[in-house]
Structure 1
């Protein structure tokens, strides 16, 4: 009899594969739900056996755990078998039908009962069947639901799986075989024969991994002090241990003990005798002492006496710490004046060596930084010895380095005399009377100018009278002596540094001496010495200006800090260094006239200068404002170059034109001074030009440029190149990255860079018309970049007002960054306080690094702050 077919039959023939996969998924799903406790118990037991827990627990407890595990396994297996139901074809068909909209498989099994015989009703039924068949043809295999969260709310299956993974990584499958030895009489152990395990653990400070002896063969090299652990399984006496590496003399125990442990102290052999035994040759690597040396290159002392002494240290496993010891070198000391007296005993100067905060300490170079200017041995001959230590207690020492103890130098004669008497007083209290005599002689009827201020003279007299009183009453104790020495130190500092007016006078005097030397044709060595003197005087003046600005800010003189005369110039210390480098370069090239002119310009700028706080910008400016001003200055300089190129182009066609006669002609200083574009050699047009050596600076007449450069565009090309390099620097520091407007600003500056490069090439080829076109493109691109940068800054301000700026704290509060710096005006962050002060700057550095790591782990902080902290960690 033929098999009865239904509309579902052809559909099922096409859905045979998804139906089979769905059926297999049902089987897996029911097996997992029924038997997951069985797998959990098996995984937990396997993890315990591989880790060898049965070897370290009492036998009774092990047997109890094994019986409980076996009972649990049988119970869970029985419950699983009772709950498991083998899925049929109908179950798979129902699962597949439930995944389809409208249950088409069930619909295909239905038969028409209403309207049969009616052609219209039958046609509708056939259309319904056809639509259901189309839906059924789209069926896909249904994935099984293997989730057990409801059945295993505590995640016991994951705990057992984690234990098994850990056991496979750190345990040994060989330990499972030792279970047989736990049976009564140990028959299984005897049947399988004796076994053993062993490990060699190097000392922790070496950072080396442990060695599993079962995997080692032949010769083994390990550090001295490594710990050997052996375990012998099976019948006691079947295996024994012999070794010549430990030098043990006490508590040795029997060679057949099941557990043995000892340290490797020398090279030798290690042997396990018996069935399956093995022998090794052990090479004991000695822990070498660390090495350290003093590096002369890079050693320096700042103007205020801060010493920087580099050193290099190394060790086979890492240096843990060290000290630097300065001892007075009496053999090299010139014993005269106050030093002829026998010195009072003093302990050597001992400083902790800085260690790297990150990275290993196997080999590193660091710098010892400290200020020993107030020590009695300042500038006296000493010996420096470095000592380092490793984790094993081994020490290494450097060779004795002879030197004068680095300290501050005093150039003012009176300040130097006061410091010398202070040294003699600290050398020995027996010098006290001599000190009073010298100080009284120095201060008796002082000449005009010896004391810059009357208060300094009065301070010296007060110190002198107090010291004489102490001597008269024989009460010069160590404490009183130290207080007097401190007063003399403060007086010497005041005499040496003076006030800002004194610093300015010293700088002016240095400038005048250098100017005279250039005019008189002094030797290069003399000029170099005077140039260095000018640098030191300028640095001293800058330091005084900064200190004055800090005092004004602390005193709340905001009006004075916030106002600047219109003719004053805003300069950074780097700008001044660049100008002095330019002056020195001109002198080395023999261009004394230009160097003299640059020196005069430098002097005027220093007198009109206002020191600004922050990172080289004006007070209250953020990086975006600084970038905007820099681009504006670049645009002005580019305009000046373009005007000069246009004038040179005019003069090519009108060689008889005289200086300043071209009406409407802009000056070479970027448009300053109409009608005075042709500056004569050594003169300036109305409105000062740029700095020497910079675009828009003082130039030469066209004929002079042609003579020196070989063409009218040579000098302009060099200045165009310098301006392009300045633009490249500004592009590298441009803020607003990541925003659409910021990226548009960068693209505009890249166009300006390419246009400037084209203008430079055209100028070198004396193609002034082409250069003007390229310069026009550069100025247009610069304007676009400034406009886009302004949009990026405005967008950034809107974002901060929208809530991203809450990290700054509430009104009236100041919050510090991870380095302890307070937020300044305009969103700037900084501090004028030195972060490298205190008794232990390296401990402070470690604390800062720990604080940065702690804050970087707080996910509730703003993303911008977390990114900043991450960059700090990557950097340090």
Structure 2
């Protein structure tokens, strides 16, 4: 029947092949599952590290399993019939048309009308067979393999193929204790490996590949040697493991493993044997040294830089701080012998990623609550390597930094706390002094809770010292005294700081969500009040002319900005918010936050000295931005000269270099525009190389922006040399935008670095916080807080900036609408309107 329907041949043949595959999978899936499980360890060479008996036992078991399941599968497998494939294809068609084509007319035979209907029915069935498609086989055996063993075996095989080698399969025959036929024919063979300790990062060496008679290996390397063939045909002798004669295994052992601990000889005697002189590369002891003095901030956080090295890498380290009694001024509470003072031991920071063989780091910690704070100590650093070897630094004498206290009562409490920790014998003296300062509390205690807190400490001491203070009781009282000193020092200041932060957060939220004029006024009033209160608290609690009795003199610093300048900055923020210029207001708000944060960070620190690298980079980039703006102005005037037929404008802008009518500089020795652009690009490249080593997203954004400015300058130079002034001006504008972005991000990165690493050293340069003057571009728009644009002269010359900005915009619109102007000039003017 199907011979007359050739379009059915392929669907039936493909379906037949699918049925064959389906029955093969269901009958023989255990066979290849066992085969995969056997091949995977052979590919990985696992058999080389297993006893021969186990290897061959597993191999025989696997082969038996393959034979059993092959026999069982062959019994279950049944070759399909063509009719089965035909029926499966027919079942997918509506009405089973293939089966219908084989039917015969049972009723109405001989009736022309009935026969015509039957013929039409057969034709319709035949047409339906044209839609026949092969039926995909069902290869699922999940019912027979509910645990997915076939997938596990396949996974093992893939791991073996990825991380193993097909050549290792052949070595299983060499694992025979009696030797294979090939071994008997070719004689005994051997192989070996040298595995250096994992921490060295050195690769494994294959002994048969080493042609040299002398080899160097790291100390502790593991040697593995295997013999194949008759026992005794090959023997091993070695002197590198340092084992005694009674500890050595028989020289003919087929599998020997030992570690190289000393210089010596390794020899394999027998057919194809070899010998090597083995040298040991000893693992060096790590070293560590201080690379600078200990730096600290007003909060007492210490930063101690150091450098550590090791031939393979440092794995850990610690710093030990011990009291230096010989250097202490033994007066007052320190006159008596101290109680035993345990050294402080803290872990050194180790890089999580990167090279640990040599690195620079800094120990950052706060020891303000230790009895050794602000006293002479000895510091020793120690680092260890993976082998457990330790290296120490030279013992260094220093004064251990501690928190600085400025409030008089707080300073007294901290000093007495130190004396109590120095020796419990000082307890009566400490109690008497605290009782004395609290005798007349008027003028000493701002908060009504302070007096009872001091008296509570006194009563606790007096109740306990008569029977002798235990270490736990002493530490308990010391903790109370620390909290009390912090309350005196920071109580009111903390409230003012929290109020200031809350006002800043509320104003920032208003900038993001929009606020009415009344809400803006209310929020700005709150910010002004909080700022005034905070500055007053700082002034009240900081006494730069008075030295603490329990710590070295650190000097003081005057914050170099006035209240009027702060008010001017806040007025500008309010003005921008009321005009709806929220992004620009947010920039100024960030500047205000940085000013207040810098005031907290530099409180009590010394001033003077050279500029910091960050300040120098900011100033240099600002100068480059101004030079680029001047160059862009000159290029724009050249473009105007081209459009106006070389006629020069009669008015000279402020700060403009005199020019003659041909569009060149009046000074014949001055470089042309392209050369000036190239010089600026080279200057910016040098400034980028000299950027301070800052980390974080802001620093990376600054570097990317400066690199973008360099690329734009390079394109501008190329356009200038081609005489395409419009293109050059566009590229110069891109360079200036990138420079401004770089300045903003660099300023944020420097501020973030100062916040994150506050107190890590005496800050270089004058730490000033001055409200930036209002800076505007030629259209009267606020530039923000970073960088400058244009010349240093006042372009507006006292005129109302908004009126002047409107006049300039109107003039640009008028000129862009004049059809008689060149199309290039009108395109440039339209770009100006789109930008501004």
SS at match of 1:24: helix
Superposed displacement of residue 488, structure 1? 5.2
1:767 aligns with 2:760: no
Match of 1:598 among 565, 570, 587: 565
CA 1:572–1:164 in 2, change beyond 3 Å: closer, same or farther? Answer: farther
Question: Residues 830-845 of structure 1 correspond to what in structure 2 (within 5 A)?
Answer: none
Alpha-carbon distance in 2 for matches of 1:136, 1:576: 93
Match of 2:316 among 317, 321, 346: 321
Aligned to 2:549: none
Match of 2:368 among 366, 373, 384: 373
Task: Give yes or no for contact 1:52–1:175 (8 Å, CA) kept in 2.
Answer: no
1:22 aligns with 2:15: yes
Superposed displacement of residue 393, structure 1? 0.7
Alpha-carbon distance in 2 for matches of 1:572, 1:364: 47
SS at match of 1:241: strand
Superposed displacement of residue 349, structure 1? 1.9
Aligned to 1:232: 227
Alpha-carbon distance in 1 for matches of 2:76, 2:384: 68
Alpha-carbon distance in 2 for matches of 1:128, 1:572: 96
Question: Residues 66-215 of structure 1 correspond to what in structure 2 (within 5 A)?
Answer: 69-112=62-105, 114-166=107-159, 169-170=163-164, 173-174=167-168, 176-179=170-173, 182=176, 189-191=183-185, 193-206=187-200
Alpha-carbon distance in 2 for matches of 1:288, 1:640: 58
Ranges in structure 1 where 5+ consecutive residues have no aligned partner: 1-5, 504-538, 548-563, 581-591, 606-629, 643-707, 726-759, 774-876
Task: Give yes or no for contact 2:33–2:154 (8 Å, CA) kept in 1.
Answer: yes
Task: Give yes or no for contact 1:322–1:387 (8 Å, CA) kept in 2.
Answer: yes
Ranges in structure 2 where 5+ consecutive residues have no aligned partner: 503-519, 537-558, 586-772, 789-800, 815-836
CA 1:56–1:19 in 2, change beyond 3 Å: closer, same or farther? Answer: same
Task: Give yes or no for contact 1:181–1:189 (8 Å, CA) kept in 2.
Answer: no
SS at match of 2:781: helix
1:717 aligns with 2:684: no
Aligned to 2:386: 391
Residue by residue over 1:820-871, the C-alpha shift from the partner in whole angstroms, topping out at 9 and shown as x without a partner, is: xxxxxxxxxxxxxxxxxxxxxxxxxxxxxxxxxxxxxxxxxxxxxxxxxxxx
Aligned to 1:9: 3
Match of 2:253 among 257, 260, 278: 257
Task: Give yes or no for contact 2:410–2:489 (8 Å, CA) kept in 1.
Answer: yes
Alpha-carbon distance in 2 for matches of 1:573, 1:274: 95
Alpha-carbon distance in 2 for matches of 1:24, 1:445: 106
Task: Give yes or no for contact 1:354–1:368 (8 Å, CA) kept in 2.
Answer: yes
CA 1:639–1:292 in 2, change beyond 3 Å: closer, same or farther? Answer: closer
Alpha-carbon distance in 2 for matches of 1:181, 1:478: 69
CA 1:567–1:102 in 2, change beyond 3 Å: closer, same or farther? Answer: closer
Superposed displacement of residue 394, structure 1? 1.5
Match of 2:580 among 634, 637, 651: 637
CA 1:771–1:480 in 2, change beyond 3 Å: closer, same or farther? Answer: farther
Aligned to 1:349: 344
Question: Residues 478-497 of structure 1 correspond to what in structure 2 (within 5 A)?
Answer: 489=482, 492-497=485-490
Residue by residue over 1:513-570, the C-alpha shift from the partner in whole angstroms, topping out at 9 and shown as x without a partner, is: xxxxxxxxxxxxxxxxxxxxxxxxxx783159899xxxxxxxxxxxxxxxx9968855
SS at match of 1:389: strand
1:274 aligns with 2:270: yes
Alpha-carbon distance in 2 for matches of 1:152, 1:320: 48
More relative contact order, 1 or 2 (CA 8 Å, 6+ apart):
2
Question: Residues 651-666 of structure 1 correspond to what in structure 2 (within 5 A)?
Answer: none
Task: Give yes or no for contact 2:31–2:69 (8 Å, CA) kept in 1.
Answer: yes
CA 1:146–1:270 in 2, change beyond 3 Å: closer, same or farther? Answer: farther
Task: Give yes or no for contact 1:199–1:211 (8 Å, CA) kept in 2.
Answer: yes
Task: Give yes or no for contact 1:54–1:179 (8 Å, CA) kept in 2.
Answer: no
CA 1:73–1:411 in 2, change beyond 3 Å: closer, same or farther? Answer: closer
Q: How many residues align?
A: 574
Residue by residue over 1:70-117, the C-alpha shift from the partner in whole angstroms, topping out at 9 and shown as x without a partner, is: 554444333433433444544443443334333333333445454444
Residue by residue over 1:638-692, the C-alpha shift from the partner in whole angstroms, topping out at 9 and shown as x without a partner, is: 49999xxxxxxxxxxxxxxxxxxxxxxxxxxxxxxxxxxxxxxxxxxxxxxxxxx
Aligned to 1:804: none
SS at match of 2:27: helix
Alpha-carbon distance in 1 for matches of 2:571, 2:238: 86
Alpha-carbon distance in 2 for matches of 1:226, 1:573: 72
Match of 1:382 among 374, 377, 380: 377
Residue by residue over 1:416-437, the C-alpha shift from the partner in whole angstroms, topping out at 9 and shown as x without a partner, is: 3443344345445676787688
Superposed displacement of residue 263, structure 1? 0.7
* RMSD (Å) for aligned C-alpha atoms: 5.6
Alpha-carbon distance in 2 for matches of 1:631, 1:287: 66
Superposed displacement of residue 717, structure 1? 0.9
Alpha-carbon distance in 1 for matches of 2:560, 2:256: 89
Task: Give yes or no for contact 1:717–1:763 (8 Å, CA) kept in 2.
Answer: no
Alpha-carbon distance in 2 for matches of 1:109, 1:461: 114
Superposed displacement of residue 235, structure 1? 0.4
Task: Give yes or no for contact 1:48–1:54 (8 Å, CA) kept in 2.
Answer: no
Match of 1:39 among 32, 35, 40: 32
Task: Give yes or no for contact 1:32–1:146 (8 Å, CA) kept in 2.
Answer: yes
Residue by residue over 1:126-173, the C-alpha shift from the partner in whole angstroms, topping out at 9 and shown as x without a partner, is: 333333333333333333332222334444444444454455545775
SS at match of 1:637: coil
SS at match of 1:717: coil
Superposed displacement of residue 244, structure 1? 4.8
Superposed displacement of residue 346, structure 1? 2.3
Task: Give yes or no for contact 1:229–1:261 (8 Å, CA) kept in 2.
Answer: yes
Superposed displacement of residue 239, structure 1? 1.8
